[in-house]
Every structure is written in C-alpha cells, then in structure tokens.
Amino acid sequence: MYTSRITGLGYFVPENIVTNEDLSKLMDTNDEWIQERTGIKERRWIEEGSNETSASMGVKASKIAIERAGLSKDDIDFIVFATLSPDMYFPGCGVQIQEMLDMQTVGALDVRNQCSGFIYALSVADQFIKTGMYKNILVIGSEYHSGGLDVTTRGRGVSVIFGDGAGAAVLSRSEDSSRGILSTHLHSEGKHARELTVESPSIAHWVPELLNNPDDISYFPYMNGTFVFKNAVVRFSEVIMEGLQANNLSVDEIDMLIPHQANLRISQFVQKKFKLRDDQVYNNIQKYGNTTAASIIIALSEAWEEGKVKEGDLVVLAAFGSGFTWASAVIRW
Ligand code: UT7
C-alpha cells in the first residue's frame, strides 16, 4: 500500500470584493448583523458580465497547484472535482477541467457533497493512490454561488453568507507511510436533506413547472440555519475526534485545524470545546464568506502560503453541510 501526500496547493478568488455595506444596498441587512452572526466582513463575487465559472476558477487554482507540485498537466492521471454549482446540469466540471487544461484523456469524476465535498473528493483520491491505481490526482473544490442567490431581503438569511472561489490540490503517491493522509472519515444523514437544499430544477421539478408558478422559488438555496448550526457543532466535534482516535492522536497534538468555513461562530465553538489556541485554528471566512466545497482547500492553500502549515505538522480538516454530510481528514504534513 502506498500513502498519498499533498504535493501542490493553489487557490483563486475573483477580484470583485462585496462588503456587508454593499449588501445592505440590495437588501434589508447590515454589517453588524452579518459580522455578529457569521464573522463575515466581505466576500468575493464574480463580477457581472464576467465569463468566470466554477470550472474556469478551478482551472486557475489547478494551474498553480500543478506547478507547485513540480509537475506538468500530463503527469496528472485522474481528476476529482467537488462543487454544488457546476457550469452545466451535466456533464460535470471534471471533464471541463480535462479540456480546459488540455490534459490527456484521463478519468474525471465529480463529487456532489456540498460543504463536505472537498474532503469527500480528497478521500476518493486517497483511495486510488493507496491502492496504486494512480500516481498524481488533481483534486478541486470550486463554487460560483453568487449567480444563484436571492439577493433580496427574502433571501438574506442565506445570500449574505456565500462567496465564490476555487482551490486545488495535487495528491501524489509516496512510499513514506509516516507522512501524508493518515485517514479520512465520511458520514451522511439523508433524512435532513431538505434542511439545506436547492431543490430545482431537477428531473422531478423541471423548468416549465417553475416558469408556470412565479411564487415557486425552489431554485434558490433554502437553509434552516438554526437547525444546521446545531447539527454542525455536534458533527464537527464528533468527526474530528473520530479522526484523531483512529490514529491514536489527541487534540493537543493538532498543529492546525482547518474547519470548513461555514460560520466563524461554529469554528469558535469547536476551538473552545477542544481548548485550541488561536494559532491552532485557521479561519478566513471574514474575507471570503462560505465558499462551500472550495472553503477548506482555499484555507489550506492560504495557511500553507503564510507558512502556517509546515513539514511534520499534524493538520486536521473537518466539514459539515448539506446532505447532511460531514467528514474529516487527518494529515501528517
Ligand atoms: O456551510 C454549510 C453549513 N451551513 C452552516 O453551518 C450555517 C449554519 N447556520 C448559521 O450560520 C446561522 O443559523 C445563520 C448565520 C444562517 C443565521 O443566524 P441565526 O443566529 O441562526 O439567525 P436566525 O436565522 O435565527 O435569524 C434571526 C433574525 C431573524 O429575524 P426575527 O425573526 O428574529 O425578527 C431573521 O429574519 O435575523 C433575521 N435575519 C437577518 N437580519 C439582518 C436573517 N438574515 C438576516 C440578515 N440581516 N442577513
């Protein structure tokens, strides 16, 4: 059995900064509410009229990650793309990456696990590497939320939270079992699927139905925020402990916890529960909002660039979100 190591990281966020003040001109909201409830100060939204999409942002992040891995696009032998905001209903963004990066005809898989998407994608890639099937896998998380949000007062409970952006990692085969991805743990609880969802369009609820009923807003995200929050704090804690225990590690051995950037209050709850210092937890939701499948990989890339993730460090990734799904990854860097 091989081990997989992250050998390259990259991220891309659109230049267009949207502040809480900007949002207060579109809907009945204010900076104080948003910062107090979520910690978010600003987010990046793709500029109107721009051609940027989840796939194109994914390409930009991927180019950086591949270069930092010291590889070329032709060294990549599989693509895993996580997103809830794909460019097309089908095919998925993975094949677009293959085309846009002018890659060999390697396999491409899309993962639809929303906020947990990046860890699910990482876990899939890890299994392919461990078994020896592939050597270098490109794992991407990318989201174009802003085009699909209800930016009126009706949608304010959701739309102020989400941001656009992409991150990518190259996962490579290693024969050093003391470093790399030590474990991943994945969970789901589908009975809560409708607590955080975009229901339409779907085959069950297709476009003509939507067009015939102007009151039908099931194409906008719906979130039962309080219920999601309560589940998130429990599941984050559980899945972090599950990952640590599987490796006979304890909380105080964590060098860097990178939680999915859902809400700063959720990260702070987890930090307090595990008595972690500020330098043991990385948050950037203040700048980017919640970028769903991209949030962990953007945060990991940024933390690494800032020198906060170093060789030998114990890095823990954890996520919770729509599905419900939740997951963790324990990595010896
Ligand atoms: O990433 C996937 C997982 N997602 C999460 O983990 C998100 C979890 N949930 C949350 O982060 C929080 O529940 C929210 C930030 C979404 C909402 O915070 P909350 O403290 O649960 O607020 P609430 O939904 O209970 O709303 C409180 C009040 C309501 O007014 P009333 O009914 O008390 O008069 C809302 O209408 O705040 C109002 N409100 C707003 N006011 C100003 C909701 N959104 C806004 C807004 N600006 N943007």
* Domain at 30, CATH number: 3.40.47.10
Domain co-membership, 138 together with 210: no
Question: Domain of 215?
Answer: 180-332
| 37 touches 290 (CB < 8 A) | no
Atom number in ligand 1 closest to CA 159? 48
Which of 158, 175, 121, 151 is CA-nearest to residue 38? 158
Q: What is the DSSP secondary structure assignment for residue 131, as one 8-state letter?
A: T
Listed residues 174, 194, 215: the one ending a domain: 174
Measured at the alpha carbon of residue 78, what is the angle toward residues 77 and 81, in degrees to the nearest 5?
150
Which of 285, 279, 331 is CA-nearest to residue 308? 279
Domain co-membership, 242 together with 266: yes
- Quick: pLDDT tens for 123-167: 999 999 999 999 999 999 999 999 999 999 999 999 999 999 999
Domain co-membership, 320 together with 246: yes
Domain co-membership, 170 together with 207: no
Per-residue pLDDT band for 209 (boundaries 50, 70, 90) equals confident
Nearest CA to ligand 1 atom 18: 37
Domain co-membership, 152 together with 220: no
**pLDDT score for 206:** 87
Residues catalogued as catalytic: 115, 260, 290
- Quick: pLDDT tens for 224-245: 999 999 999 999 999 999 999 9
Q: From ligand 1's centre to the CA of 158, what distance in Å?
A: 8
Q: From ligand 1's centre to the CA of 180, what distance in Å?
A: 38
**Does the Cβ of 123 fall within 6 Å of ligand 1?**
no
- Into how many domains does the chain fold? 2
Atom number in ligand 1 closest to CA 261? 1
Domain co-membership, 23 together with 143: yes
Q: From ligand 1's centre to the CA of 226, what distance in Å?
A: 7
Q: How far apart are CA 158 and CA 152, in angstroms?
A: 10
**Does the Cβ of 156 fall within 6 Å of ligand 1?**
yes
**Does the Cβ of 325 fall within 6 Å of ligand 1?**
no
Nearest CA to ligand 1 atom 26: 157
Is the pTM here over 0.85, yes or no? yes
Listed residues 174, 190, 221: the one ending a domain: 174
Q: From ligand 1's centre to the CA of 31, what distance in Å?
A: 13
Domain co-membership, 147 together with 238: no
Q: Which residues contact 102 (CB under 8 A, 6 or more apart)?
A: 73
